[in-house]
Amino acid sequence: MIFSKRIDSFITCIFLLSVVNSGFSQNSKAQLELKRQEVQKEIKLINELLFSNKKRKKAVYDDIENLNLKILRKEELVKLTNQQINLLNSEINQNLNKEAELNSELIIVKKDYKDMILNSYKAKSGKSRVMFLLSSESFFQAYKRVQYMKQFALFRKNQAIKISALVKELASLNDRLKSQKDKKEELLKTNRSVQKTLEDEKDQSNTIAIELRRKEKKYIEEIADKQKLSIQIDKAIEKLIREAIAKSNKEKTNSNSFNLTPEALELSKNFNLNKGKLPWPVIRGVVIQRFGTQRHPVVKTATIKSNGIIIATRPNEKVRTVFEGTVLSVLQFKGSNPTVLIQHGNYISAYKNLSKVYVKKGEKVFSSQNIGEVFTNSSTGKSTIQFSIFQKTSPVNPLLWIIKM
């Protein structure tokens, strides 16, 4: 029975270690694989949306901006793939150690079982069993010996089952090891391919950067002009929202919130409840500029501030609302393309850089309704939309509100 407990403890220990390690590694593997697939999808979109137009005019500034974006994503892909490979190496080593332990234990169990069968066979002739029972000094002792023989038979059966379980576990472990080694080889192959193109793209970026530095002053001026126009538009939007707030509060002064009807208040609550679940303003796209103050992606000496995000998409892509609401305004400034503002209670969504607008002020719109088309820059071939969300007059990070693609 001591032997049985030893085997039980060993198998239980192996099982628990397997479950715990598997639980952690499976979660980590799943998360890494999901993230890796997301980055691969983003790289594919970058190639499709930013590098597929071969007919566009040469734009050094734009080329390096697109290239650097792709390089960053590929570096992230390499990093994620290396993390997966390291995790697989750890799992493979654990499973190899487990395999060695199981093989050693199986040898011991088989030997003990063989010895037990051999001894049982020698002492288990019909005569020996009868004599074993008849030599009992009392009926109670005879009964105990019968019970002992039954328990011994059951114990032997259980040992055979445990040997079978160890053999199956080893077979399953071998299958897992093969699968892990195949996956590792696949990831290594992918990484080699990505790293090769990454090095080529870095060389290309460095070559363009040399040309860019010769005209850096010109590009800094262009960035400043764009930033000035962006600030002008943002200030106009903020002013318009303040005026709309004041208009809704005819009898109140110094209020920074809309005076909402019960219906509009419910709409505002529903918008807030959908944080992180709102659809993108375009069906396909990739974020090429993020929210907030940041260093310029090309001219590192310049700093830009963004009240929203810029999404690159396909030419003539339809722009859609992220939630139901009412068109607050359709704006257009000299030197810029139309902007549509949609009110969702105390929240405003802004869709800038449109080539066409399908809606007008005061119009009710539903979620995912097409409200216009993106503008395509004829010089760069790039089609982009600038998307912002305001809570009253304060801009918030749209990436926290829209669903992950």
Distance between CA atoms of 269 and 366, rounded to whole angstroms? Answer: 16
Tokens of 154: 């059951």
Alpha-carbon distance of 262 to 233, in angstroms, equals 31
Predicted pLDDT at 25: 57
Map tokens 């040992």 to a residue. 159
| Helices 139-214 + 2-50 axis angle, to 10 | 20
Can you tell me the distance from the alpha carbon of 309 to that of 305, in angstroms, rounded to the nearest whole number?
10
Kindly list the domain boundaries of the chain, sorted by start residue: 2-214, 223-400
> Which residues, other chains included, contact 102 with Cβ-Cβ below 8 Å and sequence gap of 6+?
14, 166, 169, 170, 173
CA angle 132, 134, 138 (to 5 degrees): 105
Strand partners, 311: 287, 385
CA distances from 104 to 97, 115, 164, 167, 170 (A): 11, 17, 15, 12, 11
Instruction: Extract the runs of DSSP E, i.e. beta strands, from 42-150.
Output: none
Q: Tell the burial category of 101 from Cβ atoms under 10 Å away from its Cβ (0-12, 13-18, 19+).
A: middle
- Selection from 347, 367, 350, 387 nearest residue 264 by Cα: 347
Residue 222, token pair as written in the block: 């262009």
Mean pLDDT of the chain: 80
* Angle formed at CA 162 by CA 159 and CA 164, multiple of 5 degrees: 115
- Give the Cβ contact number of residue 280 at 10 Å: 20
The token pair that represents 179 in the structure block: 């699968």
Using CA atoms, how far residue 146 sits from 34, 136, 141, 152, 160, in Å, is: 61, 11, 9, 10, 22
Q: Tell which CATH architecture fits domain 223-400.
A: Distorted Sandwich (2.70)
**pTM passes above 0.85:** no
Residue 39's H or E segment, with its range, is helix 2-50
Alpha carbon distance 52, 56 (integer Å):
10
Beta bridge partners of 375: 384
Q: How many CB atoms lie within 10 A of CB 65?
A: 21
- Tell me the one-letter amino acid at 22: S
SS3 391: strand
- State the Cα–Cα distance between residues 25 and 45, nearest whole angstrom: 30
Q: What is the pLDDT along the chain (405 residues), one digit of tens a residue?
A: 444 444 455 445 544 445 445 554 566 778 888 888 888 888 787 777 777 665 554 555 667 778 888 888 899 888 888 888 888 888 888 878 888 887 777 777 777 767 766 766 655 554 455 555 566 667 666 667 666 666 666 666 666 677 777 778 777 888 888 888 888 888 899 888 888 888 888 888 888 777 777 777 777 887 888 888 888 888 889 999 988 988 888 756 567 788 888 999 999 999 999 999 999 999 999 998 899 988 877 777 778 889 999 999 999 999 999 999 999 999 988 878 999 999 999 999 999 999 999 999 999 999 999 999 999 988 778 899 999 999 999 999 999 999 986
Using the structure block, give the residue that is written with the tokens 């305004």: 329
Helical residues (DSSP H) of 123-138, grouped into ranges: 126-134
| Of residues 380, 371, 370, 385, the one with CA closest to residue 313 | 385
